[in-house]
Structure 1
Amino acid sequence: MNRKIVLAITFVSLIVIVLFAAFAGKKRALAENEETTSAIIEVPSNLTEEAATTEISEEGNPIRDGHYNPLTGLFSEEDLTNKRPIVVMFDNFYAARPQAGLAKADIVYEILAEGLITRYMGVFYGTQPDYIGPVRSSRPYFVIKALEFDPYYVHVGGSMKALSDIKKYEMADIDGLSSGAYWREKHKKAPHNVYTSSEILLKDAKRMGYRETSTFSFMDFHASLMVPVGEDATEITFVYKEPTQTDKIGYNTSYKYNDEEKLYYRYTNGKPHLDEDTKEHLTCTNILVQYAKTVVIDNEGRLDIDLITTGKGKYYTAGKVLEVTWKKTTANDPTFFYDESGQEIKLNPGVTWIQVVKTGNVESIK
C-alpha cells in the first residue's frame, strides 16, 4: 500500500466501514478527483465508504467503522479531513509532572534535552484536548520530528538553532513567547506551569492566518491486531538518567504489557504515568525505539541528536519485540522503519510512543 497520505482543502468527508464477508480480501480504492485538491487517504484495502462509530470488539480489535485516523489506524465519528495536527512540546522536569493532555495524543515522542532530562512531544490529530501542559521550549531535533506532520507547532521559546529552524522551515509556529494562547497555573512553579488548550490554540492559528489543512505521511497499520514472531517483551525499561546523591530524581521510563487489553501501561520512575487532567494511566499499543547518535555541543549541555540518517531500533507490540532499522532522508521526510528483511513494518492500530535513545543505551527487557 502506498504510505503517502495527502490531506488538502476541498475534500468533503472520508468515511469507511468493514466489507461484508463476501467481499473480504478484495481491494477498493477511494474515489478521487485529480483535478481538484481533494484529500487522498489510503486505507486498508478491505474497507469501503460509510459512516458509523468507533468501538473495540470483544477480541480487542478495532471495529473499522467511521473516519480513518492515519496516525493511529483507528476510526472515529469525527471527520478529520479538514483538521491540521497540533504538535506540543511538554515539560518533563520532575516539578512539571504530571502532564495534562498526553492521554489524548495519537503519537508521543520522548527525547533527551539538557542534563539527561527528557521532554515529550505529543501529536494530536484524532482528539485535540481542552487542557494541555506544562508547555516547554523547543530543540532542533524536536523540530525535525515535528516537521513530519506539517502541524501547528506549540512551544514556549527554544534554543537559538530551534527557533532558527522553525523560521527556516516556515512552520505554523505558536510560540508562547509571542502568542497570547497561554496562561500560567498557580499549582506549579514557573517555568513549569505554562498551559493552553486546543480551542485557544486554533483561534490563535486562525488569527495568524495559518492554513487549516496539512500534508503529511506516517506509517501503515494492520487492519487488526497482529502478533509478530519475536521474543517476549512484557516489561521494558529505558534509563535516560540514573538518580545520584546530588540529583535524586532519575529519568527512567518503563512499560508493562497487559495481555487481556493488548496494551502497554506506562510508568515513570516506577510509578504509573497518569494524565493530570483525565487521571488516566497512559497506555499505548506500539513502542518504537530509535537509537540515535547523541553528542553534547556546548557548555549549556545542549545536544545534537542526529535524526536525518539511518540507524537501528526496536519495535514492541502485542508483548513481542522486533529488531528494526530506521531511515530519514531530509528534514521534511517521514521516518521509515524496516524489519530485518528490509520491508517497511506495519503498526498495530492504536497509540504509538517513540523512544529516541542515545546509541549504546540499551533498554532492559523481560
Structure 2
Amino acid sequence: MKHVQLFLLALTACIVFSACSQKAGDTQDSAQQPETNQTEEQAQQEPPEQGPLAPLTGRQVDEPLEQRIVGVMIDNHPAARPQSGLVHADIVYEILAEGPITRYLALFHSHIPDVIGPVRSLRPYYLDIARGYDAVVAHAGGSPAAKEEVIRTGYPSFDDTRNGGFVFYRSDHRQAPHNLYTGRALLEEGEARFGYDENYEIPALRFKPEAEAMNGQAAEWLEIVYDSRYYQVAYEYETGSGTYTRYINGEQHTDAESGQPLTASNVLIIEASHRVLDDAGRRDIKVQGEGRGYLCQRGKWQEITWKYQDGVIRPFVDGVEVGLYPGNTWVNIIPDNPGLEESVSLMRHKP
C-alpha cells in the first residue's frame, strides 16, 4: 500500500511539473511573440539598403561606376536620322553647329552601347561642356578653333581625322559623311591604348527623390524651333512613365538600332549668347556663364537661371540649385536672340 501511495505521489508530482513546464513554455512563447512582431515591424519601417547611384542619372546601379565618361559628337543632319545610341545617353546637349543645323554632344557613362553615331565634328563650346565632365571626346575633326584647342591643351579625344581612326568605322548603309560610327568595344580599346582610363574626375550632380512633387505650371507639350523648316524639336509628357518623348519635325525621334523612341526625365532649355563667325555659319556660343531658361519635369515647367558652375550647366531658382529627377536629361541650348519667348512654346496639352 505504501508503494502504491508513493507511486501515486510521484505520478501527481510529474503531472504538476509537466503542467507547470507547459505554462512556463506558454508564458515564454507569449513573451517572445511581441519581440518577433516588433522586429518584423521594424524591418518593414526601415528603408531597404540603397546601392550605389549612377553619377549622371541618379539611378541605382549594381556596382559603382568607375569608368570614365565618354562624350560623342553625333550628327543631326536629316540624312543622319535616325541615329544610333542616343537612347542610352545619360545626358545629351543639343546646340547649333553651323547654319540652322544642330548637333549633339551625347555623354555616356551608365551604359555605353555597341553602336553610336553617325559621328561628326567638334566645336569649342562642345569641348567646354565635355571638359566639365572630364569626358573623353570622340569626334571627326572639328572647326579650326576646336582642333587647335584639342592639340594645344592635349585634351583627351579620339579624332577620326588625326590620332583615333582605329576607334571608328564606316557603315555602307549611308553615304559619307553621315556614316561614321563607333561603339563600346572600340572606345574602351582607345582609352586603354592612350591611357585615358586613368586620372579623371566625375562631377557631382544634384538629384531629388522620385516621390518629390514638381513645382511649376503644366506643360505636357514643349516645342523648340531652331529652324522653321528642318529643326523643330518637341517633347510630349507621358504620365505613366513620368518622362518626355522626343519629336523632330512632328515625328517621334527613335533609335536606329532598337526602334525605341527617345525619352527624357528632365528637359532643360536655356538661352545663351550666339555669334556667327564665318560664312559656313560656325558660331561662338557662351556656355560658360549664366542666363535664363526653363526646366521641364513631370509635365510641368518653371523658369530658372542657369549657371555654368563646377564645369556643369545647372538650374537655379532663387539662388538654390534645383535637383533633377533620377533618369536621363536633355539640354537644348538656343540663341538668346530671339530668345526663349520667341523660340519655345510650353503648352498644357499637345495641340
**What's the TM-score, normalizing by structure 2?**
0.81
Per-residue CA deviations over 1:126-148 (Å, capped at 9, x if unaligned) read 00110011000000110011111
Specify the alignment match of 1:67 in structure 2. 52
Which letter maps to 2:51? G
Whether the aligned pair in 2 keeps the contact of 1:256 and 1:264 (CA below 8 Å) is yes
Whether the aligned pair in 2 keeps the contact of 1:225 and 1:349 (CA below 8 Å) is no
1:262 aligns with 2:246: no
Which letter maps to 1:336? R
Question: Whole-Å Cα distance in 1 between the matches of residues 62 and 202 of structure 2?
Answer: 21
1:86 aligns with 2:64: no
Which letter maps to 1:66? G
Whether the aligned pair in 1 keeps the contact of 2:244 and 2:265 (CA below 8 Å) is yes
RMSD, aligned CA: 1.8
Whether the aligned pair in 1 keeps the contact of 2:133 and 2:311 (CA below 8 Å) is no
Which letter maps to 1:69? A
Specify the alignment match of 1:208 in structure 2. 194
Q: Which one has the bigger helix percentage?
A: 2
Specify the alignment match of 2:334 in structure 1. 357
Whether the aligned pair in 2 keeps the contact of 1:83 and 1:214 (CA below 8 Å) is no
Question: Whole-Å Cα distance in 2 between the matches of residues 216 and 77 of structure 1?
Answer: 18
Question: Whole-Å Cα distance in 2 between the matches of residues 323 and 227 of structure 1?
Answer: 16
Question: Whole-Å Cα distance in 2 between the matches of residues 157 and 206 of structure 1?
Answer: 21
Whether the aligned pair in 2 keeps the contact of 1:227 and 1:320 (CA below 8 Å) is no
Specify the alignment match of 2:145 in structure 1. 161
Whether the aligned pair in 2 keeps the contact of 1:151 and 1:171 (CA below 8 Å) is no
What count of residue pairs does the alignment treat as equivalent?
Answer: 300
Question: Whole-Å Cα distance in 2 between the matches of residues 297 and 148 of structure 1?
Answer: 24
1:315 aligns with 2:295: yes
Whether the aligned pair in 1 keeps the contact of 2:69 and 2:202 (CA below 8 Å) is no
Question: Whole-Å Cα distance in 2 between the matches of residues 222 and 241 of structure 1?
Answer: 34
Between 1:197-206 and 1:311-320, the stretch displaced more is 197-206
Could you tell me how far 1:119 is from its partner in structure 2?
0.4
Alignment map for 1:235-254 (pairs within 5 Å): 235-243=221-229, 250-254=230-234
Question: Whole-Å Cα distance in 1 between the matches of residues 205 and 119 of structure 2?
Answer: 27
Per-residue CA deviations over 1:75-110 (Å, capped at 9, x if unaligned) read 122431x21011000000000111100111000111
Could you tell me how far 1:295 is from its partner in structure 2?
1.3
Compared with structure 1, are the counterparts of its residues 21 and 230 closer, same or farther at alpha carbon in structure 2 (3 Å cutoff)? farther
1:127 aligns with 2:107: no
Q: What's the secondary structure of 1:75's corresponding residue?
A: coil
Could you tell me how far 1:212 is from its partner in structure 2?
3.5
- Provide structure 2 residue ranges, at least 5 long, that are not aligned to the other structure: 1-41
Specify the alignment match of 2:314 in structure 1. 336
Specify the alignment match of 1:347 in structure 2. 324
Whether the aligned pair in 2 keeps the contact of 1:68 and 1:75 (CA below 8 Å) is yes
Which letter maps to 1:348? Y
Whether the aligned pair in 1 keeps the contact of 2:55 and 2:202 (CA below 8 Å) is no
Which letter maps to 2:258? T
Whether the aligned pair in 2 keeps the contact of 1:114 and 1:301 (CA below 8 Å) is yes
Per-residue CA deviations over 1:141-193 (Å, capped at 9, x if unaligned) read 10011111111111010011111222344321111113211111111110010
Whether the aligned pair in 2 keeps the contact of 1:225 and 1:348 (CA below 8 Å) is no
Question: Whole-Å Cα distance in 1 between the matches of residues 214 and 124 of structure 2?
Answer: 34
Greater Rg, structure 1 or structure 2?
2
Question: Whole-Å Cα distance in 2 between the matches of residues 118 and 204 of structure 1?
Answer: 27
Specify the alignment match of 1:284 in structure 2. 264
